[in-house]
Amino acid sequence: MASWATYIRTFRRSQQLTQDEAAKLLGVSQPTLSRWEAGKQVPDPGSRRRIQEIVETLSGSRRRLLEEVVRRSPMPQALVDCELHLLAVSEPLRDVAAARPEVSAPEQLLGEEVGETLQLLRQAGLERGEVAFAECVATLRRARPAPRYMRQLWIPVPQSANRPLLRVEMAEIDRAGFEARLQREPRVAITTLAELLRARCGPQPSATGSGADPTIDRTPGS
């Protein structure tokens, strides 16, 4: 398990809570929570149990809601964990992949390159909470009657300190678009939280030549 400082900080941010709000939820003062997050103080055993109970309750509720949102999505989407277990799949994605309801192979629904994509995300700091999102292209080679080419947006969804879920939003492109994308940039383009912060605080990039795909919103969690 990651340090208590990382565990508490990641949970608070995933729930979009201020330190004061999180402190009230956990029944401690804001200065105490601040010391926990800074690693200057470790919660006592009673506080640890209370923190884990609250994290498990809220994270579980959020996960169930997220699974339902993905299943009901009118667009091709999937929700996976860090081991690539499929937790939820939208019907449009099954239609694109020509997959039966019982199919649970990530390679069939998310593309043959799915393992490589996850490995690159891990190398970029996925389980340390450092990845904002990743854009990539993938091939559904088992689709029928012919392979399908997809543009993907992988969005980490924090659940605990080192076990995020991944919401994968997809849009179909033609083979020419797939090959053109590979010529412009690497197959997987990862944006870290640090890079996102610098981009938002610095000059706005020009839209000309950005290579952005209008079918997928680049904003995480949209």
First to last CA, the chain: 30
pLDDT of residue 220: 46
pLDDT of residue 202: 66
pLDDT of residue 160: 58
pLDDT of residue 190: 96
Whether 36 and 155 have beta carbons less than 8 Å apart is answered as: no
The low-confidence residues of the chain, meaning pLDDT below 50, are 1, 206-222
pLDDT of residue 2: 54
pLDDT of residue 155: 94
pLDDT of residue 219: 45
pLDDT of residue 49: 84
* Nearest-5° Cα angle at 13, 52 to 47: 25
| C-alpha–C-alpha distance, residues 135 and 193, integer Å | 14
| C-alpha–C-alpha distance, residues 17 and 64, integer Å | 20
pLDDT of residue 84: 92
Domains of the chain (ranges; CATH) run 4-63 (1.10.260.40), 73-201 (3.30.450.20)
Q: Which residues pair with 139 in a beta bridge?
A: 149
pLDDT of residue 27: 87
- Residue 194 CA, chain-centre distance (Å), reads 16
DSSP three-state, residue 167: strand
Neighbours of 119 (CB within 10 A): 12
pLDDT of residue 6: 81
CA dihedral 31, 3, 219, 172 (to 10 degrees): -160
